């Protein structure tokens, strides 16, 4: 097996595993490295998937196609990111999505059973790997739940307040920066960018918050409204 020149050590999947253990790990997992051209399929809708993919170089798009053939981009996963983990861990028969190379791509494919089934042998890192896998799924779970929390709100203002409130909480401060541009925030909250912008302005005028570019500050507590 050719030596992997860019070990994805920085991936959350391999956190806590020593670099010296890495080559043993790769062979124990029977991990394969595959290259794809732009727009080539990595996983195709309807296939059975028993592997997780780890992006080594480039990025992938996770796409969904509905009954009427309308497609939707579900996720864009960059270097170090993992895809297919939910479907392979849940052992779904047919993949309801497709994974496509968004640019020239190199991925590592690992059979999920190799991760989940401890290999009997002396692989001390196997326990770590399982923990990482659980951690990965759990963190994704929390992210998804948070997003749902925001976008289930009825209107643009409430979606914004829900999102900003949670950002404020994790920053442990009324003042915080967000990792999104306006367009990205609008996409994330599933609202119109222009409507969102004007809503932000309105709230600023009403003294609910202030902002400058990506920096926001929440100004009033519930009590103040009454």
221 Cβ contact list (under 8 Å, min separation 6): none
197 counts as binding DNA under rule CB under 7 A: yes
What part of residues 123-152 is at the interface with a copy of itself (CB under 8 A)?
127, 130-131, 133-135, 137-142, 144-145, 147-149, 151-152
Helix (H, G, I), strand (E, B) or coil at 140: helix
Q: Between vectors from CA 93 to CA 87 and to CA 97, what angle results, nearest 5°? A: 50
| Under 8 Å between Cβ of 152 and 190 | no
Helix (H, G, I), strand (E, B) or coil at 13: helix
Instruction: Out of 141, 181, 206, 210, name the contact with DNA by CB under 7 A.
Output: 181
* Minimal distance, residue 180 CB to a copy of itself, in Å: 15
177 counts as binding DNA under rule CB under 7 A: no
* Minimal distance, residue 35 CB to DNA, in Å: 28
List alpha helices for 85-124, DSSP H.
85-89, 112-116
* CA–CA dist 151, 145 (Å, integer): 10
Helix (H, G, I), strand (E, B) or coil at 190: coil
Instruction: Out of 35, 38, 169, 215, name the contact with a copy of itself by CB under 8 A.
Output: 169
In the numeric block, the tokens 């996409």 are attached to 187
* Minimal distance, residue 201 CB to a copy of itself, in Å: 19
* CA–CA dist 43, 84 (Å, integer): 9
141 counts as binding DNA under rule CB under 7 A: no
Q: What is the CA radius of gyration of the chain?
A: 21
193 counts as binding DNA under rule CB under 7 A: yes
163 Cβ contact list (under 8 Å, min separation 6): 150, 185, 188, 189
79 counts as binding DNA under rule CB under 7 A: no
What part of residues 206-225 is at the interface with DNA (CB under 7 A)?
211, 213-214
Binding segment (CB under 7 A) for DNA, from list 10-18, 76-84, 143-151, 197-205: 197-205
Partner touching 198 among a copy of itself, DNA, none, CB below 5 to 8 Å by kind? DNA
| Under 8 Å between Cβ of 86 and 137 | yes
For DNA, which is the closer residue by CB, 61 or 157?
157
Strand ranges in 140-202 using DSSP code E only, listed in sequence order = 175-177
Instruction: Out of 19, 122, 154, 205, name the contact with a copy of itself by CB under 8 A.
Output: 154
Site residues (vs a copy of itself, CB under 8 A): 64, 66-70, 72, 74, 85-92, 96, 116-118, 127, 130-131, 133-135, 137-142, 144-145, 147-149, 151-154, 161-162, 164-166, 168-169, 190, 218, 220-222, 225
């Amino acid at each position: 097996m050719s030596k992997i020149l860019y070990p994805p050590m920085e991936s959350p999947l391999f956190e806590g595993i020593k670099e010296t253990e890495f080559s043993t790990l790769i062979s124990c997992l029977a991990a394969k490295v595959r290259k794809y051209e732009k727009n080539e399929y990595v996983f195709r809708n309807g296939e059975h998937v028993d592997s997780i993919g780890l992006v080594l170089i480039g990025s992938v798009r996770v796409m969904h196609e509905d009954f009427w053939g309308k497609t939707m981009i579900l996720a864009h996963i960059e270097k170090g990111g993992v895809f297919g983990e939910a479907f392979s861990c849940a052992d779904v028969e047919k993949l309801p999505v497709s994974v496509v190379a968004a640019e020239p791509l190199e991925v590592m494919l690992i059979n999920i059973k190799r991760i989940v089934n401890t290999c009997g042998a002396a692989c001390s890192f196997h326990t770590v790997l399982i923990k990482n896998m659980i951690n990965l799924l759990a963190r994704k779970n929390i992210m998804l739940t948070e997003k749902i929390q925001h976008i289930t709100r009825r209107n643009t203002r409430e979606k914004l307040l829900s999102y900003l409130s949670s950002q404020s909480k994790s920053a442990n401060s009324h003042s915080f920066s967000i990792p999104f541009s306006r367009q990205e925030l609008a996409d994330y909250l599933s609202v119109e960018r222009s409507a969102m912008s004007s809503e932000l302005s309105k709230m600023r005028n009403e003294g609910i918050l202030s902002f400058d570019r990506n920096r926001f500050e929440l100004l009033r507590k519930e009590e103040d409204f009454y």
